[in-house]
Amino acid sequence: MRPQTLDDWVGDSPFAAEGELGASLRAGFVPSLLLVGPPGCGKTTLARLLARTTGRALLELSATSAGMADLRAVLERASAVHSEARGAPLLFVDEVHRLNKAQQDALLPHVENGAVVFIGATTEAPGFAVRRALLSRLHIIALGPLAEDSVQALLQRALYDEDKGVGRSGIQVDDSLLRMLAKRARGDGRRALALLETLVNAAAAKGLREASEDLLPSAMLEQLAYDGDGQWHYDCASAFIKSMRASQASDALYWQERMLQGGEDPRFIARRMLIFASEDIGNADAQAILVAHAASEALERLGMPEARYALAQCCLYLARATKSRETCRAIERAREDVTRRGDLPVPAHLRNT
């Protein structure tokens, strides 16, 4: 169900006709790009559409499995397919943040001399995904999650498409159910189509002519968007800390539970609360560090899911506690004194004599 032209793109297109990039594309020019966005927002699709629209060759590489030999091989192929008529080929690298320093360095001269038009895709923040030298040569395009109405339009298209969709099944899906699927997909087009396909296949297997929500496995409906070491991890952790800092206890507990249900290591959460107890509360409530330590100990002794109560208790306590940054400010002043004064001798009355 991937769109075949840029006109088929659902939602806001970064290459809209009235935009700067759209004008460049109509002139046959494609700059090197870094496509940043969550899974299922269309990064791979956009790279393929750019190649089709400009008539350039497209070479694809997944950084999750590619080594240096794979990168060199694809760059050699790029030189072979380069032509005056079609221009430099597009080199699409998915999960570009997984390229190591040496691989990015090897890629840099080929981007600089125009041997390839580089298009990288990542779910990570640009500063974490790509080294500065390469990043400075890329035009960054941020693609957000698909809006619910865009996802619903995609589902409608798939429902009635007999060639690439599920139109041949003849299964009817009510508009309200399509809206529910679009909502459950949380902006991920691939997930939405997978939900629709599962729903239609389940209805067909039971000989039904109309699908219903109860045909979907509950695990598919309850799946949360999260990653253990990517952008969701950092964003949710940041929201957790900032909610406690703002004394928003219910919000903090939501983000804690969001991380736990997403598969986060509960020890990471316990460590963050230990840090918070000293960094953000300190001596304004000296009990805070003891509560955080007790929660960490409870986690080690009880394990999950029983330790969930101790973690929640600690989260609520820290969020409601009086806050003070006195400890942080005192440390900074002491560090400045050490830097300014250097190796002062220890006064006689303070020496170990």
Tokens of 110: 């080929």
Residue 313's pLDDT is 96
Print the domain residue range for 202: 148-222
Domain count, the chain: 3
Residue 294's pLDDT is 96
Output phi, psi for 59, to 5 deg. Answer: -115, 135
Residue 285, in any domain of the structure: yes
Residue 284's pLDDT is 95
Tokens of 170: 């003849």
Three-state secondary structure call for residue 140:
strand
Tokens of 220: 């598919």
Residue 215, in any domain of the structure: yes
Q: Does one domain contain both 296 and 311?
A: yes
Tokens of 114: 């125009």
Asked if 104 and 66 count as a contact pair (C-beta separation under 8 A), the reply is: no
Per-residue pLDDT 10s for the chain (353 aa) are: 677 777 777 766 676 655 567 667 767 778 899 998 887 888 888 888 888 888 888 999 988 888 899 899 998 888 888 765 567 899 999 989 888 899 999 999 999 888 899 999 988 778 777 888 888 889 888 888 888 888 898 899 888 888 888 888 888 988 888 988 888 887 888 888 888 988 888 888 888 888 888 887 654 555 556 665 567 788 889 999 999 999 999 999 999 998 888 878 899 999 999 999 999 999 999 999 999 999 999 998 888 888 999 999 999 999 999 999 999 899 999 999 988 888 888 888 888 87
Distance CA(272)–CA(284), nearest Å, equals 18
Q: Does one domain contain both 212 and 240?
A: no
Asked if 278 and 324 count as a contact pair (C-beta separation under 8 A), the reply is: no
Q: Does one domain contain both 296 and 193?
A: no
Residue 222's pLDDT is 53
- pTM summary value: 0.62
Q: Does one domain contain both 243 and 320?
A: yes
- Chosen domain end from 91, 119, 142: 142
Please report, as a single letter, which amino acid is at residue 27: A
Q: Round the CA-based radius of gyration of the chain to a whole number and report it.
A: 27
For residue 139, the surrounding DSSP H or E stretch is strand 139-142
Q: Does one domain contain both 25 and 111?
A: yes
Residue 24, in any domain of the structure: yes
284 Cβ partners below 8 Å, 6+ apart?
A: 321, 322, 323, 324, 326
Output phi, psi for 344, to 5 deg. Answer: -70, 145
Q: Does one domain contain both 64 and 107?
A: yes
Asked if 38 and 225 count as a contact pair (C-beta separation under 8 A), the reply is: yes
Residue 342, in any domain of the structure: no
Q: Does one domain contain both 156 and 134?
A: no
Residue 223's pLDDT is 54
Residue 49's pLDDT is 86
Q: Does one domain contain both 29 and 130?
A: yes
User: Which residue is it, tokens 């580089």?
Assistant: 118
- Chosen domain end from 89, 112, 142: 142
Residue 229's pLDDT is 59
Half-sphere exposure for 185 (CA within 13 Å, toward CB) = 31
Q: Does one domain contain both 116 and 31?
A: yes
Q: Does one domain contain both 214 and 253?
A: no
Q: Any idea what the Cα angle at residue 279 is, between residues 321 and 329, rounded to 5°?
A: 115
Distance CA(109)–CA(114), nearest Å, equals 8
Q: CB 187: neighbour CB atoms within 10 A? A: 22
Q: Does one domain contain both 154 and 113?
A: no
Q: Does one domain contain both 157 and 104?
A: no
| CATH for 177 | 1.10.8.60
